[in-house]
Amino acid sequence: MTPRDFLGRRLLNQQIARASRQSPAEVVAALCAMQAQDYPGALWAIGLRSEGATQADVERAIAQRTIIRTWPMRGTLHFVAAADVRWMLALLTPRIIAGSASRQLELDGAIFTRCRKLFIRALQGGRTLTRDAMCATLERAKISTTGQRGSHILWRLAQEGVLCFGSREGSQHTFALLDEWAPAAKSIDREEALAELARRYFTSHGPATLQDFVWWSGLKVSDAKAGLAMATPHLTRETINGAEYWLPPSTFIPHPSTFFPVHLLPGFDQYMLGYTDRSAALDPAHCQKIVPGNNGMFMPTIVIRGRIAGTWKRVIKRKEITVEAHPFVPLNKSETHAFATAARRYGDFMGLPVLLQA
């Protein structure tokens, strides 16, 4: 497998190269989990993988409760399919909770029990509350939310499967009860969960290594190995430069040149965040341009034939979107044309015309 074949497989398996005809909820289920701390970017990450989807379509899937936004892995916000949220929380959050800062914030089991009861009483019956209203509920019960306490309580109870995010109220995010928001979420035993997580990760992110899977999932190495071993009947193995990669079986190896050549990805997209080793797609010399100052904030990226070739910015106005390219090296004529096409695709997703900024 050549480097271009390698990137072609990733583009295809991540549903970037050819947006699927799956619904937004089906896209999320296929990728298993999609990072979502940047909410507008996360909507686009789903939309660019679902042919013809608009931002309204993705938000409708959230409102219809087929997509859940919560903290299922690595203590970080992700979108997951409603059917998967229970088993993913059960498998992945205990280690995160055990290593959390509850003690430093003077939060103990008794306080969390009180918070749990307060929120169940406040939200039952399908109600949702904004973050401020959730904190006000605690404050009225003499539970301090100063500093990081309020955020930590919400984070902890979401990882325990009590809370999740609901639909937005205007620009405000809300919280709901997970039991009411995703009543059909299934529970499966630990071995089945490990196998399912591994199968979906390597199917949607391959070619990828065991180390990539460990990073992405937050599992212990021993658990990641066990999951991969159970998933191997559904995967194929390739050895590239001495490293072992896993990916779904395929009858052909796609070449990036056969795909639409330019893609505009949001920050925190799985094409970057899905791997611990990102050198196949990103020249290490440009890492600081993607994560300035190593501050943990990933910039939106321009991907050309599988390689990250720059960053892009957009300014959303009432009647149009301004899109500006910042390539690492100047784009040639065909790349400039392809960038414009990709920008218009983003505009279609947002429902607004695009003005390209030189």
For residue 293, the 8-state DSSP code is G
Based on the fold, state whether residues 121 and 30 are members of the same structural domain. Answer: yes
Share of the chain above pLDDT 90, in %: 86
Look at residue 337 and tell me whether its pLDDT is greater than 70. yes
What is the average pLDDT across 16-39? Answer: 93
Based on the fold, state whether residues 155 and 277 are members of the same structural domain. Answer: no
Parent domain of 264:
260-357
Based on the fold, state whether residues 152 and 266 are members of the same structural domain. Answer: no
Based on the fold, state whether residues 166 and 279 are members of the same structural domain. Answer: no
Question: Could you tell me which residues come within 8 angstroms of residue 144 by beta carbon, excluding any fewer than 6 positions away?
Answer: 138
* Structural domain includes residue 237: no
Q: Given 165, 181, 197, which residue is the final one in a domain? A: 181
When divided into structural domains, the chain yields a total of: 2
Q: Which of 275, 232, 272, 336 minimizes the C-alpha distance to 16?
A: 272
**pLDDT (tens digit per residue) in 73-97:** 999 999 999 999 999 999 999 999 9
* Structural domain includes residue 146: yes
* Structural domain includes residue 148: yes
Return the pLDDT at 15.
93
**pLDDT (tens digit per residue) in 273-286:** 999 999 999 999 99
* Structural domain includes residue 246: no
Kindly report the average pLDDT of the chain as a whole number. Answer: 94
* Structural domain includes residue 231: no
* Structural domain includes residue 252: no
φ/ψ bin of 268: left (φ > 0), alpha (ψ from -120 to 50), beta (otherwise): left
Return the pLDDT at 251.
52
Look at residue 3 and tell me whether its pLDDT is greater than 80. no
* Structural domain includes residue 25: yes
Based on the fold, state whether residues 132 and 38 are members of the same structural domain. Answer: yes
Based on the fold, state whether residues 172 and 23 are members of the same structural domain. Answer: yes
State the CB neighbour count (10 A cutoff) for residue 143. 18
Question: pLDDT grade, residue 5 (50/70/90)?
Answer: confident
Based on the fold, state whether residues 42 and 169 are members of the same structural domain. Answer: yes
Look at residue 316 and tell me whether its pLDDT is greater than 60. yes
What is the average pLDDT across 185-194? Answer: 96
Based on the fold, state whether residues 176 and 269 are members of the same structural domain. Answer: no
* Structural domain includes residue 104: yes
Based on the fold, state whether residues 61 and 159 are members of the same structural domain. Answer: yes
| Strand ordering across the sheet containing 129-130 | 129-130, 174-177, 163-165
Look at residue 330 and tell me whether its pLDDT is greater than 70. yes
| Contact (CB, 8 A) for 37 and 77 | yes
What is the average pLDDT across 141-168? Answer: 97
Angstrom distance (rounded) from CA 34 to CA 280: 20
β partners of residue 311: 301, 326
Based on the fold, state whether residues 50 and 157 are members of the same structural domain. Answer: yes
Look at residue 224 and tell me whether its pLDDT is greater than 60. yes
Q: Given 181, 202, 225, which residue is the final one in a domain? A: 181
Question: Could you tell me which residues come within 8 angstroms of residue 224 by beta carbon, excluding any fewer than 6 positions away?
Answer: 198, 210, 213, 214, 217
Q: Given 123, 152, 181, which residue is the final one in a domain? A: 181
Return the pLDDT at 184.
87
Return the pLDDT at 358.
65
Angstrom distance (rounded) from CA 272 to CA 253: 21
Based on the fold, state whether residues 43 and 132 are members of the same structural domain. Answer: yes
Question: pLDDT grade, residue 252 (50/70/90)?
Answer: low
**pLDDT (tens digit per residue) in 103-133:** 899 999 999 999 999 999 999 999 999 999 9
Based on the fold, state whether residues 59 and 157 are members of the same structural domain. Answer: yes
Look at residue 260 and tell me whether its pLDDT is greater than 80. no
